[in-house]
Structure 1
Amino acid sequence: MTNIESPFKVLITGGAGYIGSRLAATLIERHPSWQISILDLVLPIGRTLHEKLHHIFQADVTSTESVSHVFVDYCPDLIIHSAGIVPSRKKRYSTDPKDWNLVKAVNYDGTRHIVDAALQAGCKKLVFTSSCTVTVDDLDHDYFFMNETVPLGYAHLHYGKSKTMAEEYVLSPEVAERGLIACALRPCTIIGEGDRAVISVFYDLIAKGETNFIVGDGNNLYDFMYIDNAVMAHVLAAENLLTTQTAAGQAFFISNEEPVYFWDFLAYVWAQFDHHPSFRVKIPTNLAWAAGWMLEWWTWWTRTAPTLDRGSVKDGIRTQYSDNQKARRILGYKPVIGTAEAVRRTCEDYKIYLASQAKGKP
């Protein structure tokens, strides 16, 4: 069996991003003998991490030429492909073809470019950061305790559709025949220190006076997970492909394994900022679309950034949570930080961020 402490060369795409930078730091600490390199379009990484990296490649995954140039004199033993674009706020539910072209170019075409260039260079192992949205971006259905047997192809939002296409390419028999040994991880919504996407939307509801609404009956369950749990799943997947390879060809849902009532979760987040709605009104499901339209109109009228709209309202009335047994069995995955602590850490970090913004500091 391959010695896990061999001086493996590992490349993390999106290595300056939210998951990628934390993953790089974790691998450096966990496996000091490994040579960790990152690839990203922009590289705003801290000096401490910068000094510990073996290579830092600046490249655009949407460009075949840019990606190919990275592998001219470099061939890692394994790639963790975490580079991607996650549409946020109103663009999360966009139907604009221009938005789709950008998301597809990064998430699908970018994945193809990385895989093709890697195989050409001789690198045959890859961990792909997919997403639970390959299933749950089908907003017309609930997904109770979903596992990897749920068929793909129903996601209609840009992000989930692009991740589905990319995952299917990475795990396709055709690419496997070319020698790629790969697996895909499907994390749910990630929170943690450094999160400026998820918590910011929830926090903005306070200022906009939108915390008194509960759309539907309020009994829908939702998955969230802590960033370090997501990072550890990637570490375990990398270790697996470099040794036993029992994860090869497989996709894995990962979460905190603590489904929460979505609207109670929001209340818990708001409580971290000492906000407690004095009352909460349940809006029947059959009025959800009307409520979403009203909120879209209000944000347009007040010229404020939209938080709730028809897409997010529809998203907020359904259930989505996953079964992680496959990841537990094959990868040895087990979440370490619970959801309550994850929320506390995320919100404390966001308070520091808000304070720095108020003082005009970066």
Structure 2
Amino acid sequence: MARDKAMEILVTGGSGYLGKGIVEALVEKHPDWKISALDIRPPPAALAERLYQFIEADITSAESVNNAFVDYSPDLVVHTAGIVPARQSRYSTRKRDWERVKAINVDGTKHVLDAAMVAGCHHFVYTSSCTVVIDDLAHDYDNMDENVPTGHATLHYGISKAMAETYVLSPKHAQNGLVACAIRPSTVIGPGNTAVISLLHDLIAKHETYFIVGAGDNFFDFMYIDNAADAHVLAVENLLTTRTAAGHSFFISNQEPVYFWDFMAYVWAQFGHVPRYRFHIPMSLAWTAGFVLEWYTWLTGSAPTLDRGSVYDGIRSHYSNNDKAKKILGYVPKIGLVEGARLTCEDYKKHLAAHATESQAMKKLQ
């Protein structure tokens, strides 16, 4: 790493949750670097003030991305821009949903990488996902590492991330001078991210906290946002110096696999809810109920928590071995899962309170 030169780093998806975390981590650790963000929407004002520049671009458009790299060649690109299908969309089989995911996660990645290389940037950190493996709902993946093959995912997100990762790490690009690696985070939680916690919190109001599907002994991986951002910073530093991470993918998590159903109970407890009892539902019964609710959803347009996909997700074990990231990147999670989950819940309480205040104000105006 050239100490006499201020490195120029571009973070795509810099206005998104993980992207913001990576930008903040880079700015904190390397205040002399020029950190830019590319996104379809501007970042929060507080973050924008810390950026070298913000570039507005739509990664689904090759022209838009190419324009972003006109007269601009960063030393490295961290490509984290993407779409994560949430809730029932996670299990969608509709072609139009796939086309949207593909346009952003696969085609968007190709547009960014191609434009960066044409501009002379040959260092690239790709934000992949553990779903390149675990979106194969038919199997458990205990202590999985990077030797587990991809290509078996059946859900849109995992399929798209595997395709994009394969493109980035293609030997063809390496032969053309690309120095790249892929980071595969587990499910990320943290303040400001309501996706996971809102789903678990909603179960309280729906009175769906009293059952456990299957034996309830399946393990799951979560990770705190700061740890995910740190891993990306370590990857950036590696590719700009020793380059020992080049050509590799890395699973990262909090290295604290937990019983999935116990984690939910911990989250509920943060909101003062402790189920009086919990009974086990056989997987076959839950699967049938999920099938019925899918039809109910189709007929009514409602959004039930339970469907066949969530049943499969709720009974499987999948957690990763981070030894490779530890050895090559020096990755060690700094914030423990218990503390990370507590901080996430505390932030969500503020979100709920703000939403309640806003709703009351709207009612007064009506």
TM-score category, normalised to shorter length: over 0.9
Counterpart in the other structure of 2:322: 324
Equivalent runs, 1:120-139 vs 2, <5 Å: 120-139=118-137
Over 3 Å counting, the alpha-carbon distance change for 1:240 and 1:208 in structure 2 is: same
Deviation of the 1:210 alpha carbon = 0.8
Over 3 Å counting, the alpha-carbon distance change for 1:68 and 1:94 in structure 2 is: same
Deviation of the 1:295 alpha carbon = 4.2
Runs of at least 5 residues in structure 1 that lack an aligned partner in the other structure: none
Counterpart in the other structure of 2:186: 188
Does the 8 A contact of 1:27 with 1:235 survive in 2?
Answer: yes
Choose which of 240, 244, 258 in structure 2 pairs with 1:260. 258
Counterpart in the other structure of 1:219: 217
Structure 2 counterpart SS, 1:52: coil
Over 3 Å counting, the alpha-carbon distance change for 1:53 and 1:148 in structure 2 is: same
Structure 2 counterpart SS, 1:175: helix
Counterpart in the other structure of 1:83: 81
Equivalent runs, 1:176-255 vs 2, <5 Å: 176-255=174-253
Once residues 303 and 258 of structure 2 are traced to their aligned partners in structure 1, the CA distance between those partners, rounded to angstroms, is 27
Equivalent runs, 1:95-114 vs 2, <5 Å: 95-114=93-112
Give the alignment's Cα RMSD to 1 decimal.
Answer: 1.5
Does the 8 A contact of 1:233 with 1:254 survive in 2?
Answer: yes
One-letter amino acid matched to 1:226: Y
Does the 8 A contact of 2:15 with 2:44 survive in 1?
Answer: no
Counterpart in the other structure of 2:309: 311
Query: Structure 2 length normalisation: TM-score?
Result: 0.95
One-letter amino acid matched to 1:195: N
Counterpart in the other structure of 2:34: 35
Deviation of the 1:274 alpha carbon = 0.5
Counterpart in the other structure of 1:23: 22
Once residues 92 and 117 of structure 1 are traced to their aligned partners in structure 2, the CA distance between those partners, rounded to angstroms, is 30
Does the 8 A contact of 1:194 with 1:350 survive in 2?
Answer: yes
Choose which of 145, 152, 155 in structure 1 pairs with 2:153. 155
Over 3 Å counting, the alpha-carbon distance change for 1:4 and 1:258 in structure 2 is: farther
Deviation of the 1:47 alpha carbon = 2.1
Structure 1 counterpart SS, 2:246: coil
Deviation of the 1:288 alpha carbon = 2.8
Does the 8 A contact of 1:269 with 1:347 survive in 2?
Answer: yes
Does the 8 A contact of 2:128 with 2:161 survive in 1?
Answer: yes
Percent identity reads 60
Over 3 Å counting, the alpha-carbon distance change for 1:61 and 1:184 in structure 2 is: same
Once residues 26 and 209 of structure 2 are traced to their aligned partners in structure 1, the CA distance between those partners, rounded to angstroms, is 40
Once residues 260 and 231 of structure 1 are traced to their aligned partners in structure 2, the CA distance between those partners, rounded to angstroms, is 21
Counterpart in the other structure of 2:5: 6
Does the 8 A contact of 1:62 with 1:109 survive in 2?
Answer: yes
Once residues 289 and 307 of structure 1 are traced to their aligned partners in structure 2, the CA distance between those partners, rounded to angstroms, is 13
Please say if 1:70 is aligned against 2:29.
Answer: no
**1:111-135: CA deviations, max 9, x gaps?**
0000100000000000000000000
Deviation of the 1:287 alpha carbon = 2.2
One-letter amino acid matched to 1:146: M
Over 3 Å counting, the alpha-carbon distance change for 1:255 and 1:343 in structure 2 is: same
Once residues 295 and 159 of structure 2 are traced to their aligned partners in structure 1, the CA distance between those partners, rounded to angstroms, is 28
Once residues 138 and 103 of structure 2 are traced to their aligned partners in structure 1, the CA distance between those partners, rounded to angstroms, is 26
One-letter amino acid matched to 2:57: A
Deviation of the 1:304 alpha carbon = 4.3
Once residues 264 and 50 of structure 2 are traced to their aligned partners in structure 1, the CA distance between those partners, rounded to angstroms, is 38
**1:130-171: CA deviations, max 9, x gaps?**
000000000000001000000110001000000000000000
Does the 8 A contact of 2:34 with 2:51 survive in 1?
Answer: yes
Once residues 269 and 249 of structure 2 are traced to their aligned partners in structure 1, the CA distance between those partners, rounded to angstroms, is 36
Over 3 Å counting, the alpha-carbon distance change for 1:184 and 1:19 in structure 2 is: same
Counterpart in the other structure of 1:347: 345
Runs of at least 5 residues in structure 2 that lack an aligned partner in the other structure: 362-366
Counterpart in the other structure of 1:46: 44
Once residues 352 and 322 of structure 2 are traced to their aligned partners in structure 1, the CA distance between those partners, rounded to angstroms, is 34
Does the 8 A contact of 1:4 with 1:239 survive in 2?
Answer: no
One-letter amino acid matched to 1:338: G
Once residues 183 and 97 of structure 1 are traced to their aligned partners in structure 2, the CA distance between those partners, rounded to angstroms, is 30
Once residues 145 and 98 of structure 1 are traced to their aligned partners in structure 2, the CA distance between those partners, rounded to angstroms, is 34
Query: Structure 1 length normalisation: TM-score?
Result: 0.96
Once residues 302 and 220 of structure 1 are traced to their aligned partners in structure 2, the CA distance between those partners, rounded to angstroms, is 33
Over 3 Å counting, the alpha-carbon distance change for 1:105 and 1:303 in structure 2 is: closer
Once residues 220 and 307 of structure 1 are traced to their aligned partners in structure 2, the CA distance between those partners, rounded to angstroms, is 19
Deviation of the 1:198 alpha carbon = 0.8
Structure 2 counterpart SS, 1:293: helix
Once residues 298 and 265 of structure 2 are traced to their aligned partners in structure 1, the CA distance between those partners, rounded to angstroms, is 25
Deviation of the 1:278 alpha carbon = 1.2
Once residues 60 and 179 of structure 2 are traced to their aligned partners in structure 1, the CA distance between those partners, rounded to angstroms, is 23
Does the 8 A contact of 2:283 with 2:311 survive in 1?
Answer: no
Once residues 90 and 225 of structure 2 are traced to their aligned partners in structure 1, the CA distance between those partners, rounded to angstroms, is 20
Once residues 239 and 308 of structure 1 are traced to their aligned partners in structure 2, the CA distance between those partners, rounded to angstroms, is 42
Once residues 65 and 256 of structure 2 are traced to their aligned partners in structure 1, the CA distance between those partners, rounded to angstroms, is 38
Counterpart in the other structure of 2:278: 280
Structure 2 counterpart SS, 1:110: helix
Does the 8 A contact of 1:143 with 1:321 survive in 2?
Answer: yes
